[in-house]
Amino acid sequence: MIATGANNVIVIGAGFSGLAAADALNSAGLAVTIVEARDRVGGRARTQQQENGIWLDYGGQWLGPGQDEMYALAKRLGHSTWPMYTAGKHRTLFSGRLGAYRGSIPLNLPLRALSSLGYAYLRLLRLMRRVDRNSPWLSPRAQELDSQSVGEWMRKHVRHPDAFSVFRIAVESIFAAHPDDISLLHALFYFRSGGGFFSLVESEGGAQQDRLQRGVQPLAEAYAKDLQQRGVQIFLNAPVRSVEQTGSAVTVKSDTREWQAAAAICAAPPTLAHDIVFTPPLSEAKKALLNNLQPGCAIKCFAIYETPFWRNQGWSGSAVSDVPPVHVCFDVTPPDETRGILMGFIEGREGVKYTELGESARREAFLEALTNWFGDEAATPLDYYDHSWRNDDWARGCYAGVAAPGHWTSVGHSIRAPHERVFWAGTETATQWNGYFEGAVRAGKRAASQVIETLS
């Protein structure tokens, strides 16, 4: 069956970027259809209610200062936020030493480790400030920065072993990828797009400051419902297989249906967009870009307790450790404290390994880490849940596409370049808050403005 319309725009992907693109297009008076591979909207946002009634955000879950589009969207749709719990002391475990600290930086580390961290951060800051956020490949020393990995840079400039561990854990927490797999230029661009290194790792005042009370996917669902009430069509369970352009028409095909429009926006993750057959074919640079922006790997683990017992002991629930595979932990207890919930990540190469090992191994590893930090009471939760995004056919990893060394300076120029009447959205195309829902919304609006200009 075919749907036609001279002013129609097809949006591929119903994550926040696709929804935001449809919103802007609809507001401009264009007829819009969204085509989504999953059986739901939200993309890399996934909120699920468990048998015990607890709602868990298996995907992205945080908002922070500077993410104005997401806060505005939540307010517009009546979804309130609440701050992450940060009261109390944070736990550390480095080189076999259990410790505690307050604030953003583990000041309980040896003085030489703190000195090494400070030196490395200042060098990183100087490099980051010179990166062109809009066109990283045009930055001063771009070739030099893009030719080395973050891991190579760390081995040169982070000398103390504890400092090296802290830096590595921070990098893996941001990208869900090993430092050796990340271009230094990409990391510098990413840090700058999100307001700086500390902005991306901090809770209070940083990207992990707030959560949505109903979860993130319900916000996407409310957004989709609002769009449908305004006339936007949304088709689920419809993975796009091909996009064909003939003259002024664009035909988008799934397994069972096709849609014809005047333009299309692809808001799918790069690794999935790479599988779509485009006619005429994409440029070699664009194909290489989509293929090379591979997502990291993160497993999100949750332990549910009768109460947040650690709070009564003076702990915030936040923790960091150099003991693999679980390096960080957060308190994600709901505001009403009906249950206590600790959440941690297994990321990067360890995420790949533990995805294959299975849930039992992940549960054992997570509870061992929690017990090391918070004592024997952490060893016996009421329930345990986890989710590996590597096993998700329509994401294949998370948090976002990561550029390997050599990527930006060879093919980066094609990141937002239209393919005739096909335009590109998705958080990976954002110049601000790249990799975050905020970046997704901004990218969707930018792609929509390109379409509107083309069709006007």
20-71 pLDDT tens trace: 999 999 999 999 999 999 999 999 999 999 888 889 999 999 999 999 999 9
What is the per-residue pLDDT for 50? 86
Assess if residue 61 is contained within a domain. no
Assess if residue 292 is contained within a domain. no
Exposed (0-12), middle (13-18) or buried (19+): which is 7, by Cβ within 10 Å? middle
What is the per-residue pLDDT for 418? 98
Digit-coded pLDDT (tens) for 121-150 = 999 999 999 999 999 999 999 999 999 999
Helical (H) or strand (E) element with 11: strand 9-12
Percentage of residues in the chain having pLDDT higher than 90: 94
Of the candidates 315, 325, 280, 28, the one whose C-alpha atom is nearest the C-alpha of residue 172 is: 325
Report the sign of the C-alpha dihedral through residues 170, 171, 176, 177, in that order: negative
Q: Do 373 and 427 belong together in one domain? A: no
Assess if residue 95 is contained within a domain. no
* Pairing mode, strands 81-83 and 210-212: antiparallel
* Pairing mode, strands 249-253 and 315-321: unpaired
Of the candidates 241, 210, 256, 228, the one whose C-alpha atom is nearest the C-alpha of residue 67 is: 210
Say which amino acid occupies 247. Answer: G
Assess if residue 185 is contained within a domain. yes
Q: Do 275 and 304 belong together in one domain? A: no
Distance of alpha carbon 235 from alpha carbon 253, whole angstroms: 12
Would you say residue 110 has pLDDT above 80?
yes
Q: Do 278 and 426 belong together in one domain? A: yes
Assess if residue 155 is contained within a domain. yes
Q: Do 273 and 307 belong together in one domain? A: no
Assess if residue 75 is contained within a domain. no
Of the candidates 295, 268, 234, the one whose C-alpha atom is nearest the C-alpha of residue 43 is: 268
Domain that holds residue 255: 2-44+216-282+419-455
- Give the residue from 149, 177, 201 where a domain finishes: 201
Assess if residue 277 is contained within a domain. yes
Nearby residues of 152 by Cβ (< 8 Å), 6 or more positions away? 180, 184
Report the sign of the C-alpha dihedral through residues 396, 402, 407, 409, in that order: positive
Residues 345, 399 contacting (CB under 8 angstroms): no
Residues 23, 227 contacting (CB under 8 angstroms): yes
Distance of alpha carbon 372 from alpha carbon 363, whole angstroms: 14
Say which amino acid occupies 56. Answer: L
- Give the residue from 153, 168, 201 where a domain finishes: 201
Would you say residue 107 has pLDDT above 90?
no
Q: Do 275 and 317 belong together in one domain? A: no
Number of domains in the chain: 3
What is the per-residue pLDDT for 2? 45
